[in-house]
């Protein structure tokens, strides 16, 4: 089952969730690590190229994910508590929004002087035709701030999933791990 239904997420939603989860956590670590590398480290340039390439792939995945969600059913909420439904929705939309701003701010650093981003030596993503003064510095500060914000939200999101699994004993975590075809 590739698509979602009222009871279960489909494999595409599940796959893209975990793919992005792993990539985003890796990107956070990579980002912190690469800025500490010095000029004579062999991976000084390569780490940045990888970070930019993965960032653009993540942006494409995020856009695809939102389109896929729009075309698909969202499984019913597992909890009856209104406040939980509302806070889950706020968290999910917050995650999407911060991810988008984070990726766009990264793009704006790399393209501040009109250079394209080259994704894995294959695709050139051109710069915008305009830029602002000191764009690389401003976008850089925002990028670092949003990275910490996103990873904090990811931790909160993960704790919520664990809480639902072990304390509420509902299927929130399980249904993001496998497709349920029993309905």
Partner 1 sequence: MKKLLLSTTIAAASLFSSFSYAADYNIDKEGTHAFINFKIQHLGYSWLTGRFNDFDGKFSYDQTQAADSKINVVIQTASIDSNHAQRDKHLRSKEFLNVKQYPTATFTSSQYQANDDNSGTLTGEFTLHGVTKTISFPVEKIGEGSDPWGGHRAGFSGTTKLKLADYGIDYNLGPASTHVELELHIEGVRQ
Residues forming contacts to partner 1 in the complex (CB under 8 A) are 38-40, 48, 109-110, 112-113, 115, 134-137, 140
- Among all chains, which residue has been given the structure tokens 């792939």? 57
Nearer to partner 1, 59 or 108 (CB): 108
Q: Which is nearer to partner 1, 20 or 108 (CB)?
A: 108
CB of 140 to partner 1, least distance (A): 6
- Determine if residue 114 is left, alpha or beta; phi over 0 gives left, psi from -120 to 50 gives alpha, anything else beta: left
Contacts of 81 (CB under 8 A, 6+ apart): none
Write the DSSP symbol of residue 129. S
Q: How far apart are CA 34 and CA 126, in angstroms?
A: 24
**Which residues does 29 contact at the CB level (< 8 Å), separation at least 6?**
none
146 close to 109: Cβ distance less than 8 angstroms: no
CB of 62 to partner 1, least distance (A): 23
67/141 with CB nearer partner 1: 141
| Distance in Å, CB of 32 to partner 1, minimum | 15
Q: Name the residue nearer to partner 1 (CB basis): 94 or 140.
A: 140
Min dist CB 48 to partner 1, Å, is 8
Residues sharing a CB contact under 8 Å with residue 100, sequence separation 6 or more, in sequence order: 59, 62
At its nearest, how many Å lie between partner 1 and the CB of residue 41? 10
The structure tokens 């969730």 sit at 17
Of 14 and 103, nearer to partner 1 (C-beta) is 103
């Amino acid at each position: 089952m590739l698509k979602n239904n009222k009871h279960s997420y489909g494999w595409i939603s599940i796959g893209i969730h975990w793919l992005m989860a792993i990539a985003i956590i890796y990107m956070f670590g990579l980002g912190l690590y690469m800025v500490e590398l010095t000029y004579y480290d062999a991976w000084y340039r390569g780490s940045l190229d990888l970070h930019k390439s993965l960032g653009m792939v993540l942006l494409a995945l995020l856009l695809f994910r939102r389109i896929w969600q729009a075309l698909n059913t969202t499984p019913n909420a597992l909890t009856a508590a209104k406040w939980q439904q509302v806070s889950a929705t706020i968290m999910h939309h917050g995650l999407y929004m911060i991810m988008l701003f984070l990726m766009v701010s990264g793009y704006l650093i790399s393209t501040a002087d009109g250079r394209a981003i080259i994704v894995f030596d294959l695709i050139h993503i051109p710069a915008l035709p305009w830029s602002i003064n000191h764009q690389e510095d401003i976008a850089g500060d925002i990028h670092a701030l949003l990275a910490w914000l996103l990873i904090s939200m990811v931790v909160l999101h993960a704790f919520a999933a664990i809480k639902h699994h072990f304390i509420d004993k509902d299927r929130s975590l399980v249904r993001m791990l496998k497709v349920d075809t029993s309905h």
